[in-house]
Amino acid sequence: MTYNVEMFGMDFTLKPIAFTLKIGNFTWDVYWYGIVIALGFMLAIIYGIKNAKRFNINTDRMLDVVLVTTPVSILCARAYYLIFDDRKMTGGIKEFFGFDGSGFSGLAIYGAVIGAFVCGALMCHWRKIKILDMFDMAAIAFLIGQGIGRWGNFFNQEAFGGLTYDPWWGMQSENTVSEVGPGLVHPCFLYESVWCLLGFVVLHILSKRRKFSGQMVLMYGVWYGFGRAIIEGLRTDSLYLVANIRVSQALSVLLCLASVVLLVYMFVRIKKQESNAEYVELYTHEKEEPVTESEIKEDE
């Protein structure tokens, strides 16, 4: 399969399959989508290893958490997609894992994030890592993985929006024409990639002045939730909760609002604690000891 893509005022020819492995009679197609996702994951892990000490996290224990959490997150991403997909799963466990010939296609990033935080919390408890410190570091690393990983959608020609008249940002391919019609469409994958990578830079800088454990994961919730809520509204392939309610957009709004409320609460609380700590009593009311006759004579 080949896609002829127009973007950035240039023409591209994309092949979703990077190469094919042959082992006896078995062939395995390796997609650029998977390679890009793996690259984003690798960079996120490298960030974690280099910054674990700054977040008071033992690197070996962190890797234990990652090794268990990663496969769970992938399964949760698959489950989230199938739960809200209009085409209800009928092939059972074979379809879930793609053993029916359909392939392991259809993943949702929110499912992966939810799975990562739930499984990660349990693993942190078991490996005796402070959960909020781990979440703070993971949230920043997530933005690397998400920012890079979204380019996998470019190779698959998915995660795009409706028509746009911008000759620079607009994109067109066989997939966009079949889904939307002739004309340039919003490259939503690009919008989210830029937003996530910018968020990584912002949160990394702010993390050096972290006021409390959990601050960065809440800022992640605000940043990613706000951006995703807007970008999701442009997409043509959204998963729907009911009627016209896009499930990921609704979740993004809730995530953003809840994170804002908790951030404000924590900063107000910290401000009050700092104010009480800085208070110095100007007048003391210590009981004066009576002056003895010997002290009077010494003064004379």
Residue ranges per domain, the chain? 3-57+130-299
Give the tens place of pLDDT for each residue, 38-68. 999 999 999 999 999 999 999 999 999 999 9
Q: Which helix (H) or strand (E) holds 29?
A: strand 26-31
User: Tell me, what's the pLDDT at 160?
Assistant: 94
User: Tell me, what's the pLDDT at 244?
Assistant: 85
Token readout for 233 is 């509204």
Token readout for 62 is 């962190």
User: Tell me, what's the pLDDT at 23?
Assistant: 80
| pTM recorded for the entire structure | 0.86
| Inter-residue contact 13 to 2 (CB < 8 Å) | yes
User: Tell me, what's the pLDDT at 283?
Assistant: 47
User: Which DSSP symbol is given to 169?
Assistant: T
| Beta strands across the sheet bearing 171-172 | 10-14, 3-7, 171-172
| Inter-residue contact 44 to 59 (CB < 8 Å) | no
pLDDT by 10-residue block (mean), the chain, 300 residues: 89 91 82 94 96 95 95 91 72 66 73 94 95 97 96 93 86 93 94 98 96 96 97 92 88 97 95 73 48 49
User: Tell me, what's the pLDDT at 284?
Assistant: 46
User: Tell me, what's the pLDDT at 81?
Assistant: 86
